[in-house]
Amino acid sequence: MSVLDDIIVGVREDLAARESALPLSRVMPDAQAQQPALDAHAALKGDGSGGLEVIAEVKRSSPSKGSLASITDPAALAARYERGGAAVVSVLTEQRRFQGSLADLDAVRAEVGIPVLRKDFTVADYQIWEARAHGADLVLLIVAALGDAQLEHLLGLTHELGMNALVEAHTAEEVDRAAAVDARLIGINVRNLKTLDIDRSVFADLALRIPAGTVTIAESGVRDAADVEQFAAQGASAVLVGEALVRHDNPESTIGEFRAAGRNARQGVHS
C-alpha cells in the first residue's frame, strides 16, 4: 500500500465518523447559507503585472517531515500571510498525518479576506459540501486518488457550489486527466504522494502539457527564492508553500521575497 493509499484509508474512516455525527442533510443548509465563495481562480491568475502568486499554507505536520510547527493560533498566522501578500491561504484539515482540523479552517476563514483552500484528501461529495459550510472557497482534488468519473463529478459539484478546485497531478498521465475534465487550476506536485520523494525536475516537462489559459501551480519542494524563480521561469503562475513559511520567523518577508523572485524570473523569460 502506498503512502497516499494509507492516508486515504484514514480519511475515509474519519469521514464516516463525521457523516454519522452530522449527516449531509444537515451540512447542506449550512453550506447554502454561506456568503458566495471568493474567486480563487482570479486571485491565482494574477493582475497581469507579471508577478507570481503565493498560496501560503497553515501546516503543523507532514508525513515526510513530521512536526513542523505548533501553530497555536492559525488565524494569526493566516493574517500574517495576508499582510505579506499571499493570494490564497491553504488550511490543512486532515488530522492523522497533518494535525489539522475544521476548527483551523473556521478560525482562518473568520480572520482573512482572501480565498481559503480547504486542503484535505477529497474523495466524497460530503467533504465538498462540508468545505463550503465552513467557508472554504477552494478544495483540493488529487488525480491519483480519484477515478476519471469521480474526478469529473467532484469538480462539477465544486463548481455548482461556486467554488474552485485545485486539481493536483504528479505525472504526465495525471496532467492529461486533469486537462480532460477542464480543470481551471492544475497543480503539479513535485512530491510523489505514493513515495513522498521530491523531484523538482518533473515540473518543467509537466507544465508544458497544461493547456494555455489554465492556472499552473507548483506544489511542494519550495525551499527558498531560488526554487520559486526556477518554477516561475518554467511556467508557474503560483506556488504553494508550507514548510518554508511555518518554519520562518517572518513569513511576511518570505512571501515578499518569493513574489519578487517570481516577478524577476518572468521578466527574464519575456525580456
Residues recognised as catalytic: 57, 59, 119, 168, 189, 219-220
Cα pseudo-dihedral 87, 140, 59, 237, rounded to 10: -40
Can you read off the three cell numbers belonging to residue 214?
A: 489554465
The total of other beta-carbon atoms located within 10 Å of residue 42's CB is: 13
Can you read off the three cell numbers belonging to residue 71?
A: 501553530
d(CA 246, CA 49): 27
Count of all residues that appear for the chain in the document: 271
- Burial of 49: CB neighbours in 10 Å, binned 0-12, 13-18, 19+: exposed
Burial 18-31 (b: 16+ CB within 10 A, else e): eeeeeeeeebbeeb
**Cβ-contact 196, 3 below 8 angstroms:** yes
Can you read off the three cell numbers belonging to residue 111?
A: 480572520
d(CA 92, CA 143): 18
